[in-house]
Structure 1
């Protein structure tokens, strides 16, 4: 069990004012968790992330990256080149969270038949 610092307030995701609730909403948003899982294998550029995550718009990807960066879950590296080259990777906290999110996503994929939905059929 991890020791907590007595000087810090106790996190309570059920408390409407707790910052943990805001981070939980970012991670459990439609795109937040997918960005974390996509970055599990290493650094990716914006365009690589967009191709990896089907259906996400440029605007939503940009917003999601900003939010996850502000939450301390991903880092952004600007190479200072022209044309601009920027890539993203998980922070230590982001890596720990991405492992858990990947496990959840994997469990859902493995249990679709038990969950009352079927995977989308390709080509239909």
Structure 2
């Protein structure tokens, strides 16, 4: 079956929207409920504040995450998935199930151009 540009382009746009290293993990964490910046950062070991800020801004710009700032001292900002972001959760869950079911095959074929196995394995268990 040949895929038309009309079918593939929306898929490519969607994948590009969530392709950065931390975006799927942000979405999965917010799928558990509203969180503050520090809560997200603690849940996502290894992400720097600068990178997390960029990921959240991108997801907000794309309409997947909403940011609510409260006029309080100290300032309080909360992040939550929008209805559009929430609608992505079942898709990510299906992708997770596929990745787990095919993990042996994926790891077997996961090599760098020079033939060495990838050193870093994405932790899909955190997104379940």
Tell me, yes or no, whether TM beats 0.5.
yes
TM-score (norm 2): 0.69
Q: Count matched residues.
A: 107
1:13–1:59: structure 2 CA closer, same or farther, 3 Å change rule? Answer: farther
Gaps of 5+ in 2: 109-120, 123-128
| Matching residue within 26, 51, 61 for 2:52 | 61
* Ranges of 4+ aligned residues in structure 1 off by more than 2 Å: 10-14, 20-24, 105-117
Of the structure 1 ranges 78-87 and 96-105, higher mean CA displacement relative to structure 2 is found in 96-105
Counterpart of 2:42? 51
Counterpart of 1:83? 74
Q: Relative to total residues, which structure has the larger helix share, 1 or 2?
A: 2
* Distance across 2 between alignment mates of 1:12 and 1:48: 37
1:74–1:115: structure 2 CA closer, same or farther, 3 Å change rule? Answer: same
1:104–1:69: structure 2 CA closer, same or farther, 3 Å change rule? Answer: same
* Distance across 2 between alignment mates of 1:105 and 1:63: 24
* Distance across 2 between alignment mates of 1:109 and 1:45: 29
* C-alpha RMSD of the superposition: 2.8
Gaps of 5+ in 1: 1-9
Q: Deviations over 1:25-77 (max 9, x none)?
A: 23121111111111001100000001111211111100000010011001001
* Distance across 2 between alignment mates of 1:63 and 1:38: 16
